[in-house]
Every structure is written in structure tokens, then in C-alpha cells.
Amino acid sequence: MSTATILPGIDLSRTPRPSSGFDPEVIDRQSIADLQAVGSDKWTRYPGCIGAFIAEMDFGLAPAIQRAIHDATDRCALGYIPDPWKRRLAEACALWQRERYGWDVDPSRIRVAPDILEILEVFLREVVGRGHAIVVPTPAYMPFLSVPRLYGVNVIEVPMLRRVQSVQSAQSAESSDSGNPAATGWDFDFEAIERAFAEPSTRGFMLCNPHNPIGKVLTEGEMLRISELAARYDVRIFSDEIHAPFVYRGRHVPFATLNELTARQSMTATSASKSFNIPGTKCAQVILTNPDDYEMWMDRAEWSEHQTATIGAIATTAAYTEGGDWYEDMLRYVRGNERLLDSWMRGELRKVGYVEPQGSYIAWLDFSPLGIEHPADYFYKKAHVALTDGRECGRVGAGCVRMNFAMPRPLLEECLTRMAAALKADGLI
């Protein structure tokens, strides 16, 4: 395999590269034109803009994945997904869960689907059911609000709470001219969650850990409290753990591993599509720790499995079994980006509402302290930066944007520079 194709536009063959194939120096040299030439949605949907909206990374492919895909095309092995690949993938996913999160999960309980949203659709259709409701903490990943409605499932939005520092330290921070200095974290509003669970139609809860878009990594205590409330009101839990590989502080604990009850309450959805940037290969995994869910899945989700891409199973298996070194190097780089973003948010952009993410590569920025009503439009027009409009993430999202910071670091610097320049030009910072 030629290394020259891992990042199009850059001749990697002349560059000494780390053994993982993840080379920060090469990534740093990627230009907007290079990324547009790759042709991702992120860099083509808004021509001329820095793409910081959709959750894709710009770091090429792990060599193990590229090798596996080349090998599959060499063998012309691209028919419908066969059982042996489903089994290999389930074993690879179980290995990843065991090695990374200490979850000794039985591979026979791991099934495939094209993506997380398809798994959510099965959950909505079969577990929650038409005419019932699902509780979604907000701001939320946008489809968590729109997809349930397609299945006749009502969404009950429960806003997350911004944690505030002690009064004294908040006052001293405010005196340093900070716009929203006191927010140090996010908490669940358990009272509001309990009220929503008590609604007679409520059947499901959307757990997203790490949380997109606020980057919260849930503690065991928080998950146990949710589990306790869910047990009281007979609510099932959809646990989306797609961002589990991106945790900067603390560690990822799969919800289903806490105890027997949480295993029965939850349907876990996971995928290598974020951590290895292969969402277009269409292969996610569902971990069915509730025996009734397993029966249901085997009886009613055949077409979801059938839609899963063989090339995705091949790519994902390679990612989980051979991609560890690339992943570790990638994570170090993304963590560096997070540090860069954080320094801007504590420096030039300190008047913007912000809580440092504990995980994921997404940040939630609140421009309402600056009086900007529609910040996504504002930065699109004034800075040529494409962000997700916070209103798509729930009613609490007015004045906010969701920002993806997994891009080459010089482009992230450019992105933040452009945003700050627009705000300065308008006298807002």
C-alpha cells in the first residue's frame, strides 16, 4: 500500500512517519483546499468556509483500515454482509470494550446495524413504541430530537443545568471581565427528569455518554441515579456511547456495566465511526444486555442488519483489532486541540459562555452573553466558519452553536482567529 494516499494532497512518501501512521506534522500541513479536495461533507457543504459543524475528523485513515479495505477490494469481497463477518466484528468490538473499558461482554450479544441512528430507530419502534414519549436531556445531538417524531414518539426535552462555582470564586472571576466565568460543569436536573419520567406516556430515556454537544462525561453516581429513577417509573434507556473513545478527564464507564439492573435497562449503541472517522462505511454495533431485547432484535431487526455494509464490518474490525496505536496518537492530537480551544475561551473569547468539554471533540459555545441571537448565521456570514445552530439541539440552544474542533490545529487557530476578529470588528469583545 502506498502511504501517499492516506491524506490526499500531501506526498507522505517523502515524510518520515510515526509507526502508527498518525503524523501530526503532516496533518498540520493540510490546507482548506486539500480538505475540500478529499470531498467530505464537512468541507464541501459550505464552500469557502471552515467546516466545524458535522462530527467528522480530518486526520485521514488508520493504515490498518486502509489495508483492510484494499484487501477486501482485491478479493472482490463486497457482497451482502455474511455471518462470518458479523461474528468477527462482534468479537473485535468485544475486544475493544474489554481492553478500553474493562467490559467483558459476550460477543454473541453484539449485533450490527448500519449506524447508531438505525439502532435508535429500532429502539423507538420496538421498545418505546408509537404514542409514547422519550426523555431527552438538552442541548442534544440533533437527530435525538427529530428522529423520535418520525416514529410517532413524543420528545420531552429536559435542559441540563450549568454548574456554578462557589459565590466567592464566581465573584472574583466576574471581576476579571469574564462573560460567563462561573460555569464549571453540567449537571442533570434530576427533579425535572423525575417529573418527565412520571408522565404516563414516558417509556424511554436518551443517555449520551460522553455527551454530544456539551462534552460531559457521566459519573457512576449520575448514572446510578438515572437508573434508580428509571426503575421507579419503568423507563428504558438508550445508551449512545459512540464518543466513549474521547475522554480527557475521568474514564468512560459503560452504563450497562454498573450492575445487573443497568444491564437490563439499557440498549447500548456504539461504533468506531467517530473514533476512526469512518461513518461513511456504515457499520455500528448494538450491545443487547437485556435478554428480551436480544429476542426482539433477532426477530425484528433482520433488515437493519442486512443494510449494514460489509466494507464497514471489515473496516471496523481492523480499527478495533489493529488501530490502537493510530487511535492513541489521534487522541493526543485532539486533546491538544481541546487545550487550544480552551485557551482561547479563557482568553480572547472569555465573554462567550463555555464549559470545558470532558470528552468528545465537540464544544458548546453560548454567544447570548454577547447579545448574538443567531451565532451560526453570524459566523457563517462574518467569519466564513460553518457551525451547527444551537436551536437544532433543543429549545435551550438559542444563541448557541455546536463546534467540532477535530481539525488540523492550524485551521482551528484560523477558525478561532476569524471568529474573534468578527466579534472585535463589531465591538463585542
What residues between 2 and 21 interact with ligand PLP by CB under 6 A?
A: none
The answer to the question of residue 280 lying near ligand PLP (CB under 6 A) is no
Q: Does 272 bind ligand PLP (CB under 6 A)?
A: no
Amino acid, single-letter form, for residue 40: S
Q: 10 Å Cβ neighbour count for 116?
A: 23
- What does the block give as the cell for 138? 438538552
Indicate which single residue of 23, 240, 293, 338 sits in contact with ligand PLP (rule: CB under 6 A).
240
Cβ-based nearer residue to ligand PLP, 49 or 362: 362
Does position 271 bind ligand PLP by CB under 6 A? yes
- For 74, 129, 275, 411, the CA distances from 61, given in Å and listed in that order, are 18, 39, 11, 19
* C-alpha span between 54 and 405 (Å, rounded): 10
Contact pick of 59, 141, 151, 276 for ligand PLP (by CB under 6 A) = 141
Site for ligand PLP in 99-118 (CB under 6 A): 115-117
**Residue nearer to ligand PLP on the CB measure, 12 or 116:** 116
Asked whether position 392 contacts ligand PLP by CB under 6 A, the answer is no
Stretch that binds ligand PLP, among 247-255, 271-279, 291-299, 334-342 (CB under 6 A): 271-279
Binding residues among 29-88 for ligand PLP as defined by CB under 6 A = 55
Nearer to ligand PLP, 55 or 311 (CB): 55
267 is a contact residue toward ligand PLP (CB under 6 A): no
Site residues for ligand PLP, 156-215, by CB under 6 A, read 208, 212
The values of phi and psi at residue 112, to 5°, are -110, 160
- Kindly tell me which residue out of 242, 267, 319, 330 binds ligand PLP, with binding defined by CB under 6 A: 242
With contacts defined by CB under 6 A, how many residues of the chain interact with ligand PLP?
14
| Contact criterion met (CB below 8 Å) for 25 and 15 | yes
Q: How far is CA 264 from CA 35, 228, 289, in A?
A: 44, 13, 6
Task: Say if residue 240 is exposed, middle or buried (CB neighbours under 10 Å; 0-12, 13-18, 19+).
Answer: buried
DSSP 8-state class, residue 309: -
For residues 257 and 102, the answer to whether their CB atoms sit within 8 Å is yes
- Distance separating alpha carbons of residues 348 and 327, to the nearest angstrom: 31
Nearer to ligand PLP, 97 or 273 (CB): 273
Q: How far apart are CA 246 and CA 359, in angstroms?
A: 5
Do 375 and 400 form a contact (C-beta atoms < 8 A)?
yes
Q: Does 268 sit near ligand PLP (CB under 6 A)?
A: no
Given the complex with ligand PLP, which of 86 and 243 has the nearer CB atom? 243
For ligand PLP, the binding residues (CB under 6 A) are 55, 115-117, 141, 208, 212, 240, 242-243, 271, 273, 279, 284
